[in-house]
Copies of this chain bind each other. A is one copy, B any other.
Amino acid sequence: MILELAENGGESMTGTLARSLGGGGGIGGGEELLCPPTNFAMVDRGIYRSGFPNSDNLGFLDALNLRSIIYLCPEPYPEVNAEFVKSRGIRLFQFGIEGSKESFVTIPKDTIMEALRVLLDIRNHPVLIHCKRGKHRTGCLVGCFRKLQNWCLSSVFEEYLRFAAAKARVSDLRFIEMFDVSCMMQCVLGIIYRYHGCGSQARRISYRDIS
């Protein structure tokens, strides 16, 4: 049984279903199961989050057809991960935010802004955001992204807590609350202008009197 599927964008359930049918893992048996990294989830179309992917997770990541990875730790990428991104032509954006067990250590705002710039640029999608456990650094970045999406703070916090669970930090919640999305204004407008010029067949932006 051979089944092929091609589509724009890469990521979707149908691709995986087709693979299941083709190889038979889920339905026919035999194909290796896909193991997402710990704390994996879809944030939005073309945006994923997780904890640190290990060698068991590379088959799953492969299925996402990632164009880039936002890596939020200062440590160098392990050889197996570095080899994976190189072989797949995935662009690695590293923003070295120190992990800390101290709840009073806050996340650096400028670094989060830089990471947001990469995250918002759809030319980098599909993109995976990850740190070590996918709780604190990743949670802060996603929290700021949700504020840009105009989510109410209680929903932003609910999502943060779902991933951080017992490891939640008040300092992270405070950082997200205090993050002023207006500082991203120029960046977002810049992306929309570029986007408009992209000529994507799937989307169209028109704007009047942006001031």
Q: How many identical chains are in the complex?
A: 2
- Residue A27 is within 8 A (CB to CB) of chain B in the complex: yes
Given that A7-B202, A14-B203, A207-B2 are contacting pairs, would A36 and B148 also be in contact in the complex, using a CB cutoff of 8 Å? no
8 Å CB contacts to B: which residues of A177-211? 181-182, 184-185, 188-189, 192, 195, 202-211
CB contacts (< 8 Å) of A14 on chain B: these are 122, 192, 195, 203, 205
Q: Chain A binding site: helix, strand, loop or mixed by DSSP? A: mixed
A44 touches B147 (CB 8 A): no
Q: How far is the CA of A152 from the CA of B9 in the complex (A)?
A: 24
B1 & A211 in contact (Cβ 8 Å cutoff):
yes
Taken residue by residue from 1 to 43, chain A's Cβ proximity to chain B (1 for < 8 Å, 0 otherwise) reads as: 1111111110111101111110001111001011110111111
Interface residues of A (CB under 8 A from B): 1-9, 11-14, 16-21, 25-28, 31, 33-36, 38-47, 120, 122, 145, 147-155, 158-159, 162-163, 165, 181-182, 184-185, 188-189, 192, 195, 202-211
Can you list 26 contacts pairing A with B, beta carbon distance less than 8 Å? A2-B207, A2-B209, A3-B192, A3-B205, A3-B210, A4-B206, A13-B44, A13-B45, A14-B195, A14-B203, A19-B150, A20-B149, A21-B188, A21-B189, A21-B210, A26-B147, A26-B148, A27-B188, A31-B150, A35-B152, A35-B154, A36-B151, A41-B42, A41-B159, A42-B43, A42-B45
